[in-house]
Amino acid sequence: STMTNRVPPTLPAAVDESRQWARLMGMAMLGEIPGDGVDRAALTLLDRQARRLLIEWATEAGLTVSVDEMNNLFLRHEGLEPGAAPVLTGSHMDSQPNGGRFDGIWGVVAALEAVQAIRDAGLTTRRPIEVVAWTNEEGGRFAPGCMGSMAWSGHSASTTWDGVADLHGTTFRAALEEQMAAEADLPRRPLGPVGAARPSAYIEAHIEQGPLLEADMLDIGVVTGIQGSRWFVVDVAGRSDHAGTAPVSLRQDAVQEMVRIVNALNTLTHDPADVLRFTVGRVEVHPNTSNSVADRVRFTIDLRHPDADILREKGDAIAGTVQAALRHCTATVTERFTAMPTAFQELVPDAVEAAAEALGLRSLRMASGAFHDAQFLVPVCPSGMIFVPSRGGISHHPSEYTSPEQLAAGTRVLAATVWDLANR
Ligand code: HGY
Ligand code: MN
Ligand code: MN
Ligand code: MN
């Protein structure tokens, strides 16, 4: 069905640009850091405060709240057929430690805004609509990312990460239990797409986090797929020594060894076309003092590529490359996260494109360089994403910015798409 004449005339105006912007600025105060940034890690007090704020807005708007054992948060709008499979829409509320005001949280606020606009416009939907905030998408405090959507979709057992600890030694399981206890007043729901909770479709609104839409003066990204990501942790073990007395030729210096390993990995992953992305983003050194030789180094590897075979080939070669680079230390390589490249089936991207067209917006079909929870919804139901431009293509940084108008345009496309999908 084409959307051209299917956007209810009262819907676009019911999307309240200033209400949405005010809510985003309110959320940005929870974990505010200099430069308009946000540091709001998953399963922290700040995360709980943000969730309470969202729940307040949602219950005022007449939605019902529930939470599952992975702390995924759901806000439900009833349809005319309560037993019908719901349309699911949302994103994540946690941020990078040096994050911005829009990554993740806009998709959740926009989903609530879209449902409120449908209600404010006096429209009904055949299907229920559920807004979701997925637990720990960023994986900043507890690796990997997308824990909530991976456990919910059955991609990994929810107990897989119990022992994963943050920099202070708090385990994921302990932090999850603390959050669940603090939210004991919220109704529970089973984990996963079970029974009436199995969605008919999933749509996630998100900032592009790249330069393409802005460069071509476009309003909307119709996301067709997401490239693959693999995360590894490398632990190098050597021996600590006195920086002044130990002869260099006898040292088992874990930092020097890391340098050799990273140089070898740079050769392995060198790509003149700059499509393969290799990042070492975190380095932890022990004892981390200027006048002692390091006996331990832990560093992370983030590898990305849109082609499954290349991602498999290069990712599988990392462990051997690390071992071959060693001179004086030992090292172990652990894979922490595997999200293979995904392509969305046509249903949702087509609906998004039709909605953008019906609203007179300029759109572009494009793949996502960032991973998203939508990646793990693909095996469960027809899925898709809507992008809005990022100023300068910047994200995972305090200067991340999208204007109120650009966000409202994205939310209008989201509202029109959700309304369309909820009436099919
Ligand atoms: O890392 C990512 O791609 C996502 O933005 N967390
Ligand atoms: Mn995100
Ligand atoms: Mn992110
Ligand atoms: Mn995401």
CA distances to 28, 46, 189, 398 from 31, in Å: 7, 6, 28, 12
- As a residue count, the chain comes to 424
Decide if pLDDT at 15 tops 50.
yes
Q: What is the CA radius of gyration of the chain?
A: 23
Task: Return d(Cα 255, Cα 298) in angstroms, integer.
Answer: 10
Ligand 1 pocket check for 400: Cβ under 6 Å: no
| CA-wise closest residue to 151 among 246, 72, 90 | 72
- The amino acid present at 288, given as its one-letter code, is N
**What is the 92 CA–ligand 3 centroid distance (Å)?**
9
Ligand 1 pocket check for 145: Cβ under 6 Å: yes
Contact 306, 227 (CB under 8 A): yes
Tell which one of 96, 134, 138, 390 to mutate to probe ligand 1, the residue whose CB is within 8 A of the most ligand atoms.
Answer: 138
Decide if pLDDT at 287 tops 60.
yes
Task: Calculate what percentage of the chain has a pLDDT beyond 90.
Answer: 98
Q: Which domains does the chain have, with CATH numbers?
A: 10-227+341-421 (3.40.630.10), 228-339 (3.30.70.360)
| CA-wise closest residue to 133 among 70, 185, 221, 85 | 70
Backbone angles phi, psi at 334, to 5 degrees: -120, 130
Measured CA angle at 147 (ends 144, 148), to 5 deg: 160
Backbone angles phi, psi at 340, to 5 degrees: -70, 155
Reading phi first (left if > 0) and then psi (alpha if -120 to 50, else beta), residue 392 is in: left
Question: Which residues are in the CB-under-5-Å shell of ion ligand 4?
Answer: 137, 372
Strand pairing category for 383-388 and 201-207: parallel
**What's this model's pTM, rounded to 2 decimal places?**
0.96
**Residue 371 is encoded by which pair of tokens?**
């991973």
The contacts of residue 14 (CB under 8 Å, 6+ apart) are 116, 117, 118, 120, 121, 415
**Residue 115 is encoded by which pair of tokens?**
């449902």
Residue 202: how many CB atoms within 10 A of its CB? 29
For the CA atoms of 348, 353, 358, 361, the dihedral, rounded to the nearest 10 degrees, stands at 140
Tally helices (H) and strands (E) across the chain.
Answer: 13, 16
Average pLDDT over residues 7-22: 97
Ligand 1 atom 3 nearest Cα: 370
Ligand 1 pocket check for 369: Cβ under 6 Å: no
- Convert the pLDDT of each residue in 35-82 to its tens digit: 999 999 999 999 999 999 999 999 999 999 999 999 999 999 999 998
- Convert the pLDDT of each residue in 306-326 to its tens digit: 999 999 999 999 999 999 999
Ligand 1 pocket check for 295: Cβ under 6 Å: no
Average pLDDT over residues 16-33: 98
State residue 1's pLDDT score. Answer: 43
6 band by pLDDT with thresholds 50, 70 and 90: confident
- Convert the pLDDT of each residue in 126-135 to its tens digit: 999 999 999 9
Average pLDDT over residues 343-355: 98
Q: What is the mean pLDDT of the chain?
A: 97
**What is the 88 CA–ligand 4 centroid distance (Å)?**
15
- Convert the pLDDT of each residue in 369-421 to its tens digit: 999 999 999 999 999 999 999 999 999 999 999 999 999 999 999 999 999 99
Strand pairing category for 87-92 and 201-207: parallel
Task: Return d(Cα 323, Cα 240) in angstroms, integer.
Answer: 21
Ligand 1 pocket check for 299: Cβ under 6 Å: no
Decide if pLDDT at 3 tops 80.
no
Q: How deeply is 17 buried, as exposed, middle or buried, from its count of CB atoms within 10 A (0-12, 13-18, 19+)?
A: middle
Helix ranges (H only) for 67-202 are 105-120, 147-152, 172-182
Reading phi first (left if > 0) and then psi (alpha if -120 to 50, else beta), residue 209 is in: left
Ligand 1 pocket check for 204: Cβ under 6 Å: no
Decide if pLDDT at 2 tops 50.
no
Tokens 């956007």 belong to residue: 7
Average pLDDT over residues 334-345: 96
Strand pairing category for 228-237 and 220-226: unpaired
Residue 156: how many CB atoms within 10 A of its CB? 17
CA distances to 6, 89, 385 from 418, in Å: 12, 8, 11
- DSSP secondary structure string, 221-256? EEEEEE-EEEEEEEEEE----BTTTS-GGG---HHH
State residue 5's pLDDT score. Answer: 52
Ligand 1 pocket check for 138: Cβ under 6 Å: yes
Ligand 1 pocket check for 370: Cβ under 6 Å: yes
Contact 224, 366 (CB under 8 A): yes
